């Protein structure tokens, strides 16, 4: 400003606030999403120098092409049976989601969050891990449990906060915990588990163990300071960890550009920390598995951390408390160029000659039966407002290993 | 018996626990090669190696968050935040994660970590090297909060804290690191080598968490104190010839209510003293508990002598710090009132 208050040599500043390409009422537009052809991206050796593979943070590794064929250097890792199993896991998660979504609408639980469109990410990643490895998931990776055959009834009992809830009714629905299944206790506070995952991996290295950790975070939560701390620690101590970013384009109502800012990709965030970063088609089960396996092997060989950005789309609402039509076009998920992970794997298997529309329908029906049966069993132990529920006494347990005197007094006051 | 400073006692506790338990790891800013800005971890890296005692990036959230992950794996991290004034970036990890992990996972995962941090004023530390944020931790279900006042207790309490299966916030009054301090800033300071409580047994011993101790027997008035204020209380009672019973709380959460109630029921009067600011400070909890449990025995209102409700100033250090003059006045008034 000059002395008289008028702009001088420089014009007035203005604040840049990024906007998504289109809002409700508009036609979906993903022309800004740059896609690489399936098979086009090279597969480096796992001990590649991070400096030599910087380009992988700016491309998208894909295996399944438009015709549903598996092509390129990342293909060929899974047998027919493994792929059919993967398809089943994704279909199971989708059916589970749909049933629980309805259960929430029926008032059987207070809250639910679906994975619609993101099933490949957690289902395929789980199969690349070994027993003993530990995930530090967010609230949108239940595929890690499904693909590890965690009992569905227990998941539902947690969602219903009933008398069989493994977490005794203390946690909001879907905040599962299972050490046995390598699934760290979910917290409502975003990004906190990312740095904890790094600590867990450091511990495994300190003890000369062979287990590795996987951290999970969404695109929006990468803006949390814990994300930054995680990358610093993982880089400094070369922790045996896979740092997963699930970029589903949306953080509730906020499009990914608000968290990403001017950075080309989320994967590129890793490069500044010297962490090799891969970007992968998150709706391509085969690509997710291949990239996960690569990063897990790097970690297991003590070569340090890897960052993976899964490019996908949150097809459903953020949660049962959310209405996406208020902030994005209703048909946007149909326009998503990476399609639907279930349909893509289905078509691939049909193309391989090991699957058919009939088998798919039949499997769908079987899965529905299984999920409905599990739901019936879970509901026999109660739902949030009806039937069996955890004891009020349980509320006071587990704050500490041993209940201190003040909590004992309060429990007596509560009359439990 | 050998005499040690509080620094040496704290280091001794970590040394013993690292020796006894391979799962104990120590890290934080400057704690590795250099041995800590207060020398509390001196020699530990040389003795136990870089993977047991190491330097961390300047990221409090990172230090605590990583420690929580290590604890979930099965280690027992004893970590350092350089000054309590700098714990706030880690507050989310402490409150939302460490404190609740056992509860929210129904014991599937636990968090046996110790977060050490120097606290308190009286050293011309100004706004960001003097704070006493204990009330921000005593308000959190799932934490234990410890404040030692002498080398003997510091070692025994720290060993207990490391052995404890739950997260412990271990607040070290840095004004007491080298010797007791009664608030008489114009007098020479006595080193711990001249004080009985500087006697620290060799080897492993514990001071139980959740147990207060009477530092002085008395019949007319009870002073509830911890950290540096224990010595301020001793000086104030001595100088005014008041037959005060001084209780060093040692652990604020869980609190030894029994010892407090027993003492106040006997004396009928109670003064609470802490360095931290008044409003919603831990003294409010103490005063509330005393009136709740000793109402019919009280002969005067419970009085709080604390830091003022201002940020901790630099030049006005001794107008801020609740020293023996201010406390003494409160004791006399409470006794006569």
Dump pLDDT digits (tens) for B195-221: 999 999 999 999 999 999 999 999 999
pLDDT at A33: 87
Sign of dihedral through CA atoms A255, A256, A259, A262? negative
Q: Which residues of B touch A176 (CB under 8 A)?
A: none
| Over residues A212-227, mean pLDDT | 98
CA dihedral in degrees (A151, A156, A158, A162; nearest 10)?
A: -120
CA distance readout (Å), A383 to A109, A139, A280: 7, 20, 39
User: Which of B72, B74, B105 minimises the CB distance to A196?
Assistant: B72
Question: What are the beta bridge partners of residue B24?
Answer: B76
Within an 8 Å CB–CB cutoff, is residue B110 touching chain A?
A: yes
pLDDT at A95: 98
DSSP E strand boundaries for B230-310: 244-248, 251-253, 270-277, 303-307
Of A73, A69, A63, A3, nearest in space to A42 by CA:
A73
Say how far residue A200 (Cα) sits from the centre of its chain: 19
Q: How far apart are CA A41 and CA A61, in angstroms?
A: 6
| Over residues A365-390, mean pLDDT | 97
Of A263, A235, A232, nearest in space to A247 by CA:
A263
| Over residues A39-49, mean pLDDT | 97
Backbone angles phi, psi at B27, to 5 degrees: -155, 165
3-class DSSP state for residue A162? coil
pLDDT at A263: 83
DSSP label of B220: S
Dump pLDDT digits (tens) for A249-295.
999 999 999 999 888 899 999 999 999 999 999 999 999 999 999 99
Q: How far apart are CA B314 and CA B183, in angstroms?
A: 16
When scoring A195, A235, A236, A391 by the number of chain B Cβ atoms within 10 A, the one with the most, hence best to mutate, is A195
CA distance readout (Å), A219 to A93, A95, A227, A404, B93: 21, 25, 11, 41, 20
Of B245, B239, B238, nearest in space to B223 by CA:
B245
| Contact yes or no for B104 and A185 at CB 8 A | yes
Q: How far apart are CA A313 and CA A326, in angstroms?
A: 17
pLDDT at A199: 99
Q: Which residues of A touch B254 (CB under 8 A)?
A: 400, 404-406
CA dihedral in degrees (B18, B22, B23, B25; nearest 10)?
A: 40
Are B203 and B12 in contact by the 8 Å Cβ rule? The answer is: no
DSSP label of A16: -
pLDDT at A40: 97
| Over residues A158-166, mean pLDDT | 98
**B203, exposed or middle or buried, with CB in 10 Å at 0-12, 13-18, 19+?**
exposed
Question: What are the beta bridge partners of residue A281?
Answer: A311
| Over residues A156-165, mean pLDDT | 98
- Among residues 119-178 of chain B, which lie with CB inside 8 Å of chain A? 141-142, 144, 165-166
For chain A, the average pLDDT equals 96
Residue positions of B annotated with a catalytic role: 129
pLDDT at A1 over 60: no
Within an 8 Å CB–CB cutoff, is residue B91 touching chain A?
A: no
Q: What interface predicted TM-score (ipTM) does this complex get?
A: 0.97
Of A269, A338, A273, nearest in space to A308 by CA:
A269
| Over residues A118-127, mean pLDDT | 98
Read off the tokens for B143: 């934490």
- HEC-encoded secondary structure of A83-145: HHHHHHHHHHHHHHHHHHHHHHHCCCCCCCCCCCCCHHHHHHHHHHCCCCCEEECCCCCCHHH
Kind and range of the H or E run holding B173: strand B168-173
Q: Which residues of A touch B165 (CB under 8 A)?
A: 400-401
| Over residues A351-366, mean pLDDT | 98
| Over residues B160-180, mean pLDDT | 98
Q: Which residues of A touch B107 (CB under 8 A)?
A: 398
* Closest-CA distance of chain B to residue A88, Å: 28
**A232-251: b (≥16 Cβ within 10 Å) or e:** bbbbbbbbbbbbbbbbbbbb
User: Which of B68, B254, B257 minimises the CB distance to A199?
Assistant: B68
Q: How far apart are CA B237 and CA B161, in angstroms?
A: 31
Dump pLDDT digits (tens) for A8-38.
899 999 999 999 999 999 999 998 888 999 9
Say if pTM beats, i.e. exceeds, 0.80: yes
3-class DSSP state for residue B66? helix
pLDDT at A2 over 60: no
* C-alpha angle B30-B35-B38 in degrees, rounded to nearest 5: 85
| Contact yes or no for B104 and A187 at CB 8 A | yes
DSSP label of B120: -
When scoring A180, A182, A217, A400 by the number of chain B Cβ atoms within 10 A, the one with the most, hence best to mutate, is A400
- A80: Cβ–Cβ under 8 A, 6 or more apart, which residues? A349, A352, A354
| Contact yes or no for A188 and B144 at CB 8 A | no
pLDDT at A308 over 70: yes
pLDDT at A7: 63
Of A216, A156, A228, nearest in space to A186 by CA:
A216
| Contact yes or no for B66 and A166 at CB 8 A | no
Q: Model confidence at A3, in pLDDT bands (50, 70, 90)?
A: low
Q: How far apart are CA A145 and CA B293, in angstroms?
A: 49
Read off the tokens for A304: 């340090």
Of A69, A169, A96, A68, nearest in space to A387 by CA:
A169
- B173: Cβ–Cβ under 8 A, 6 or more apart, which residues? B118, B119, B120, B147, B148, B149, B227, B228
Query: Among residues of chain A, what percentage have pLDDT more than 70?
Result: 98
| Contact yes or no for A233 and B66 at CB 8 A | yes
Among chain B residues, the shortest Cα distance to A132 is held by: B73
The 3-state DSSP composition of chain B as helix, strand, coil percent (nearest 5) reads 40, 20, 40
User: Which of A189, A195, A203 minimises the CB distance to B75?
Assistant: A203
| Contact yes or no for B106 and A398 at CB 8 A | yes
pLDDT at B65: 98
pLDDT at B337 over 80: no
Among chain A residues, the shortest Cα distance to B56 is held by: A233
| Contact yes or no for B61 and A225 at CB 8 A | yes
* Closest-CA distance of chain B to residue A192, Å: 7
When scoring A177, A191, A199 by the number of chain B Cβ atoms within 10 A, the one with the most, hence best to mutate, is A199
DSSP label of A341: H
| Contact yes or no for A233 and B57 at CB 8 A | yes
Within an 8 Å CB–CB cutoff, is residue B65 touching chain A?
A: yes
DSSP readout, B73-119?
Answer: HT-EEEEE-S-GGG-GGGHHIIIIIITTHHHHTTTSS----EEEEEE
pLDDT at A4: 64
Of A155, A128, A333, nearest in space to A249 by CA:
A333
pLDDT at A32: 84
Question: What are the beta bridge partners of residue A245?
Answer: A217, A309
């Amino acid at each position: 400003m000059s002395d008289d208050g008028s702009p001088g040599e420089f014009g007035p500043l203005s604040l840049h606030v990024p906007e998504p390409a289109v809002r409700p009422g508009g036609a979906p537009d993903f022309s800004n999403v740059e896609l690489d052809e399936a098979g086009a991206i090279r597969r480096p050796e796992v001990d590649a120098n991070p400096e030599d593979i910087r380009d992988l943070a700016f491309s998208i590794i894909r295996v399944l092409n438009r015709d549903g064929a598996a092509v390129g250097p990342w293909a060929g890792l899974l047998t027919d049976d493994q792929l059919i199993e993967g398809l089943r896991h994704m279909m199971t998660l989708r059916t589970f989601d749909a049933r629980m979504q309805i259960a929430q609408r029926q008032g059987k639980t207070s809250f639910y969050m679906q994975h619609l469109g993101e099933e490949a990410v957690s289902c395929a990643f789980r199969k690349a891990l070994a027993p003993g490895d530990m995930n530090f998931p967010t609230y949108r990776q239940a595929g890690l449990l499904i693909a590890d055959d965690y009992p569905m009834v227990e998941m539902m009992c947690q969602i219903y906060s009933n008398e069989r809830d493994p977490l005794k009714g203390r946690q909001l629905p879907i905040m599962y915990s299972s050490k046995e299944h390598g699934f760290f206790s979910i917290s409502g506070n975003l990004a906190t588990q990312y740095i904890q995952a790094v600590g867990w991996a450091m511990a495994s290295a300190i003890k000369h163990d062979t287990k590795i950790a996987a951290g999970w975070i969404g695109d929006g939560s990468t803006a949390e300071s814990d994300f930054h701390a995680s990358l610093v620690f993982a880089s400094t101590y070369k922790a045996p960890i896979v740092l997963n970013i699930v970029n589903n384009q949306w953080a509730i109502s906020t499009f990914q550009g608000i968290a990403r800012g001017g950075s080309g990709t989320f994967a590129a965030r890793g490069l500044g920390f010297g962490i090799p970063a891969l970007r992968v088609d998150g709706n391509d089960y085969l690509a997710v598995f291949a990239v996960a396996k690569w990063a897990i092997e790097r970690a297991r060989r003590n070569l340090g951390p890897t960052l993976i950005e899964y490019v996908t789309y949150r097809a459903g609402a953020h949660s049962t408390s959310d209405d996406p039509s208020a902030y994005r076009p209703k048909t946007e998920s149909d326009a998503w160029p990476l399609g639907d992970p279930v349909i893509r794997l289905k078509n691939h298997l049909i193309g391989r000659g090991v699957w058919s529309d009939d088998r798919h329908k039949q499997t769908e029906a079987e899965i529905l039966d299984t999920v409905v049966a599990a739901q019936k069993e879970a509901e026999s132990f109660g739902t949030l407002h009806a039937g069996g529920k955890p004891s009020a006494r349980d509320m006071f347990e587990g704050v500490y290993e041993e209940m201190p005197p003040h909590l004992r007094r309060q429990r007596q006051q509560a009359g439990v | 018996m050998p005499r040690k400073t509080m620094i040496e006692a704290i280091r001794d506790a970590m040394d013993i626990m690292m020796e006894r338990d391979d799962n104990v790891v120590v890290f934080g800013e400057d704690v590795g090669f250099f041995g800590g800005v207060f020398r509390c971890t001196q020699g530990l890296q040389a003795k136990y190696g870089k993977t047991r005692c190491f330097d961390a990036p300047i990221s409090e959230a990172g230090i605590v968050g990583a420690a929580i992950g290590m604890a979930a794996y099965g280690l027992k991290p004893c970590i350092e935040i350089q000054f309590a004034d700098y714990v706030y970036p880690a507050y989310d990890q402490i409150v939302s994660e460490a404190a609740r992990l056992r509860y929210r996972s129904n014991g599937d995962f636990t968090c046996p970590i110790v977060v050490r941090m120097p606290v308190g004023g009286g050293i011309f530390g100004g706004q960001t090297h003097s704070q006493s944020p204990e009330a921000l931790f005593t308000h959190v279900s799932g934490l234990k909060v410890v404040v030692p006042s002498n080398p003997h207790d510091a070692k025994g309490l720290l060993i207990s804290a490391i052995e404890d299966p739950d997260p412990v916030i271990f607040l070290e009054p840095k004004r007491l690191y080298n010797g007791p301090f009664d608030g008489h800033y114009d007098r020479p300071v006595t080193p711990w080598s001249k004080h009985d409580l500087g006697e620290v047994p060799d080897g492993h011993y514990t001071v139980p968490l959740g147990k207060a101790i009477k530092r002085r027997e008395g019949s007319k008035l009870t002073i509830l104190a911890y950290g540096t204020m224990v010595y301020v209380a001793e000086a104030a009672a001595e100088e005014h010839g008041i037959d005060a019973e001084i209780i060093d709380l040692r652990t604020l959460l869980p609190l030894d209510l029994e010892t407090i109630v027993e003492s106040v029921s006997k004396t009928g009067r109670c003064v609470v003293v802490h360095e931290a600011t008044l409003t919603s400070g831990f003294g409010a909890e103490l005063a509330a508990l005393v009136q709740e449990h000793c109402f019919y025995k009280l002969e005067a209102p419970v009085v709080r002598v604390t830091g003022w409700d201002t940020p901790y100033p630099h030049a006005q250090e001794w107008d801020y710090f609740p020293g023996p003059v201010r406390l003494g006045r409160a004791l006399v008034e409470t006794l006569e009132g």
